Amino acid sequence: MPFSHPVRLVAYLAAVIAVTLIHDPRVLLLMLAGLLLSSGPSRLALLLRAGRPVLWILLLISSGLLVMGWLTGQPVLHALLLINLRVLVLALLTAWMLRDVDLDLALVRVPQVRRWLVIVRAQVQLFRRLVQDYRCAQKSRTVVAPTLHQRYLGSAAIGLAALDKGVHNAEMVTQAMRSRGALHD
Amino acid sequence: MHIPDGLISPQTYLPALVVAVPLWWWAARGLAHQVGDEALPRLAVFTALAFVLSSLMLPLPGGTSGHAIGVGLLALVFGPWVAFLAYTLVLILQALVMGAGGLTALPVNALAMGFIGAWTAYLLFHLLRPVHADFAVLAAVFVAVLFSALLVALVLGLQPLIAQGPDGSPRFFPFGWSVTLPAILLPHLFIGAAEAALTLLVWRHARRRCWIPSACGREA
């Protein structure tokens, strides 16, 4: 893609809004086909990545619509196609954007937002790793399967320990970087 | 209780954006003043915790999903404006990292969970705190989750009324309030109770660690 990352991000935002203004399933189907064709050789992986978070919600809405149509006798095919295609096109657009847009570069003109996105994203990764570490440590020392009560207690202890460690790490890193003149906030 | 992209109409998300933008601006303006230098890393960790809590999703028949929110905890520790801003960041990250929620749904999700959730928890906690602090946390978070869920259910149920095709067929979310209210509110009775217990656990821990300046020394 020859465009810069900020341009790609703006194009994505414009496309998302445009999709919510289209109410013809045929146009949305064409868009979906166009997106899949132009998204490169990993299009199947992209479609799977896009479909996974919305699959259950679409299944629930579609089955609800079919039941409603069956009970009332009203045609629901148009609404069924429209809603499913719109949600899928939007999810595919988001998955494509996530693959091809570097948010750090795209948000270079909005440093406050970029700063917080980077900080929180790093903390999320750190927090998950801490929880995983503690969970592994707990499992390796547990011989018999814990009861539900023990699992709740264990999860609470792991969560609080990870929170302590996360806060401690974040404070230490911030103080160390600030004292060395690395932070300019 | 995220609303995904594509289920709410521009008639809904554009007015919601008009309401949310000045609130984000106001919240951001006071952020540096409300959160001191030493509390910033803590805020980042609590925001990450809210992200992790709200990442464990269960799809609900009402077209949304059930999960803990974490905004009540943010509001009790950092105040409602900071919680609103931090939770908006959680929603953006979830939309951009996990594909949950979405950018057109962001203003509605941020107002329902971030703003209403945070303010309900904060106000109710301070109202009930003289009675009993632990009870105040439980009640505040439980009611905040239910208020947020109610708002999401009302917004979704409004869609078939305001966004129809010429033949009356729905263009966005297809079910009315008779479906969305029970489908979203009933599971959130359990989610709210679980989140209230979880928040109490972390809130007591934060109080012991003196991470809540207003509670530090008074109830520790």
Q: Identify whether the C-beta of residue B38 lies closer than 8 Å to the C-beta of residue A178.
A: no
How far is A102 from A100, CA to CA, in rounded Å?
A: 7
Among the partner-chain residues A57, A65, A173, the one whose CB lies closest to the CB of B4 is A57
- Residue A101 backbone phi and psi in degrees, to 5: -115, 125
Q: Which of A119, A107, A98, A117 is nearest to A171 (CA)?
A: A119
Q: In the structure encoding, which two tokens stand for residue A71, read together?
A: 């009970």
Residues of chain A short of pLDDT 70, as ranges, are: 1-2, 183-185
Which residue from A minimizes the CA distance to B3?
A57
Q: Contact A164/B64, CB-based, under 8 Å?
A: no
Q: Contact B96/A103, CB-based, under 8 Å?
A: yes
Report the DSSP pairing between strands B64-66 and B58-60: antiparallel
Looking at residue B220, its pLDDT comes to: 40
Mean pLDDT of chain A: 84
3 state SS for chain B: CCCCCCCCCHHHHHHHHHHHHHHHHHHHHCHHHHCCHHHHHHHHHHHHHHHHHCCCCEEECCCEEECCCCHHHHHHHHCHHHHHHHHHHHHHHHHHHHCCCCCCCHHHHHHHHHHHHHHHHHHHHHHHCCCCHHHHHHHHHHHHHHHHHHHHHHHHHHHHHHCECCCCCECCCCCCHHHHHHHHHHHHHHHHHHHHHHHHHHHHHHHHCCCCCCCCCCCC
Half-sphere exposure of B36 (CA within 13 A, CB side): 5
Residue type for position B45: V
Q: In the structure encoding, which two tokens stand for residue A8, read together?
A: 């790609």
Q: Contact A123/B205, CB-based, under 8 Å?
A: no
Q: In the structure encoding, which two tokens stand for residue B43, read together?
A: 């805020």
Residue the block writes with tokens 């903390």: A123
Interface TM-score (ipTM) > 0.90: no
From the first residue on, what is the mean pLDDT of each consecutive set of 10 residues in chain B (220 residues)? 83 94 89 72 84 69 66 91 91 79 88 94 95 94 94 93 85 88 89 90 89 64
How far is B38 from B209, CA to CA, in rounded Å?
A: 14
How far is B80 from B124, CA to CA, in rounded Å?
A: 12
Q: What residues of chain B lie within 8 A of the CB of A183, using their CB?
A: none
To probe the interface with A, which of B3, B5, B78 has the most A CB atoms within 10 Å? B5
Q: Work out the end-to-end distance of chain B between its first and last CA atoms, rounded to an integer number of angstroms.
A: 34
Q: What residues of chain A lie within 8 A of the CB of B60, using their CB?
A: 60
Looking at residue A2, its pLDDT comes to: 67
Task: Please report, for chain A, the start and end positions of each structural domain, with discontinuous segments joined by +.
Answer: 5-105, 110-179
Q: What residues of chain B lie within 8 A of the CB of A90, using their CB?
A: 4-6, 102, 104
How far is A40 from A43, CA to CA, in rounded Å?
A: 6
Q: Tell me the CA distances in angstroms from B59 to A56, A81, B51, one per residue in order.
A: 6, 20, 17
Reported for A59-62, long-range contacts at CB under 8 A and 24+ positions apart, including other chains, are A60/B59, A60/B60, A60/B61, A60/B63, A61/B7, A61/B63, A61/B173, A61/B174, A61/B175
Looking at residue B59, its pLDDT comes to: 59
Neighbouring-strand partners of residue B65: B59
Burial (CB < 10 A; 0-12, 13-18, 19+), residue A78, is middle
Distance from CA of B126 to the nearest CA of A (A): 25
Q: Contact B174/A65, CB-based, under 8 Å?
A: yes
Q: Contact B89/A117, CB-based, under 8 Å?
A: yes
Axis crossing angle, helix B71-78 with helix B177-208, rounded to the nearest 10: 40
Q: Identify whether the C-beta of residue B22 lies closer than 8 Å to the C-beta of residue B29.
A: no
How far is B19 from B139, CA to CA, in rounded Å?
A: 28
Q: A15 — contact with chain B (CB < 8 Å)?
A: no
Among the partner-chain residues A121, A127, A159, the one whose CB lies closest to the CB of B45 is A127
